[in-house]
Amino acid sequence: MTTSTKRRKSAGVTMDRQQLLAALKDVAAAVGTRGPKPILQNVLLHDGLITATNLELRIDCHLDWHDDPLLLPHARLKSILETAAGDEVTLTRDGAACRVEIGRSEWRLPVEDAVEFPTWEAGKLTALPRIPCDQFARAVRSVSYACDNESSRFALGAVQIEVQDGECTLCASDGRRLSVALVEFDQALDPVEVLVPEHAIQQMAVIAMKHKGDGTAVQLEASKSEIVATFDGQTVTARLIEGRFPRWRDVFPDRDATEHVVEIGALLSATRAAAVVTTEQSKGVDYTFTTDGITLHGQSSESGESKVECDIVTAGTPGTVKLDPRFVADVCRALSSLDGEPNVRLSTAGPGDAVVLTFGEDDEYRSVIMPLDPSA
């Protein structure tokens, strides 16, 4: 987001109020919360940028600011710009304060020394894929639900970006389910894999969605400890997670089973209905695949029993498997947000076998849900 300075006065810098407000919103996800470093609750205006960081995530947004660096409280400045009436805002440094003028209204905000703001620069960067923004956002949405931010294994709280054999994949797993998305890129790259914190890659996806349909791409780069995502007008820098990610290719079973085709909305509705009687102690739902459809059966001593029928588009190999309905619902919600075909393809080989879900014209989205003990 570029904010154009309309005129430079000796008394301050004047710019469009709405454009400055938009820039503040664009960097908001990186603003620090209350903690041991209150200076992180500020944003830095400097060198043609507005910058926010919480030391794990940094967002830079283009801003036509070429005055001396100025540190301003994000929340207060944002509130002023949202509530004041007027097209322009003038910012004037006045000793240890900044005077904010909009129309005939004026605020005086205490400011800290910009030199004390702890920004950081990424190390030597290696190119990762350049991905169309809309495709990147879809890929993140299709996998990020499978992250586990509460796991002691930090790698499970990340989305893995991997380049191997000319393909780029995004993958997430909490150890009980796994989701992977294949994305296109047009560069010759060496094999690489990085682990991006779920909250950081989600913010990248939010920015990518703002460029949906404009034909632009996000350029990813990485150092040993950071990833940098460069968009048109914005840059996101995040610290990587260290750890070993599961060998996700080994999770997909090698089997000869015909897929069932089912409408995503119908599967989600049936799953939610069958799960009404499940409890934490009896969380599983039996999914029985036949030539006539899918029968979902849930039961618990505390809440009763359910039997729900789900129509299918095309029948595959028959079988029964017990699954956590929350996992099925999560993948259905993720896929339904991708604006693609209405159907998902499922395959299973029996009670102890994982269920594989495939989506997309070129099977670019795949998920695995591990089964529950059928006797549980």
**Residue 64 resides in a domain:** yes
Q: Is the pLDDT of residue 2 over 60?
A: no
**Residue 287 resides in a domain:** yes
Q: Is the pLDDT of residue 165 over 90?
A: no
Q: Is the pLDDT of residue 69 over 80?
A: yes
**Residue 101 resides in a domain:** yes
Give me the residues paired with residue 55 across strands: none
Q: Which of 228, 250, 272 is the last residue of a domain?
A: 250
- Tell me the C-alpha distance between 354 and 331, whole Å: 14
Residues in CB range of 330: below 8 A, 6 or more apart: 145, 146, 177
56 shares its domain with 160: no
**Residue 316 resides in a domain:** yes
295 shares its domain with 357: yes
Q: Which of 116, 151, 168 is the last residue of a domain?
A: 116
139 shares its domain with 231: yes
pLDDT (0 to 100) of residue 282? 85
58 shares its domain with 159: no
How many structural domains does the chain have?
Answer: 3
CA torsion sign for 200, 202, 206, 212 is positive
Residue with tokens 């947004």: 61
CA torsion sign for 102, 106, 107, 108 is positive
Q: Strand, coil or helix: what is 216? A: coil
**Residue 353 resides in a domain:** yes
pLDDT (0 to 100) of residue 92? 95
pLDDT tens-digit map of 215-236: 899 999 999 999 999 999 999 9
Query: What is the CATH classification number for the domain harbouring 97?
Result: 3.10.150.10
pLDDT tens-digit map of 239-290: 999 988 989 988 888 777 889 999 999 999 999 999 999 988 888 999 999 9
- Tell me the C-alpha distance between 199 and 193, whole Å: 18
Percentages (nearest 5) of helix, strand, coil residues in the chain:
25, 40, 40
Cβ(108)–Cβ(135) under 8 Å?
no
111 shares its domain with 136: no
**Confidence label for 11 from pLDDT (cuts 50, 70 and 90):** low
**Residue 13 resides in a domain:** yes
In terms of residue numbers, what domain contains 293? 260-369
Give me the residues paired with residue 167 across strands: 164
pLDDT (0 to 100) of residue 8? 44
Q: Is the pLDDT of residue 350 over 90?
A: no
Comparing 168-172, 195-199, 208-212, 348-352, the range with the smallest average pLDDT is 348-352
Tell me which amino acid residue 96 is: A
How crowded is residue 282: how many other Cβ atoms within 10 Å of its Cβ?
15
Q: Which of 116, 143, 163 is the last residue of a domain?
A: 116
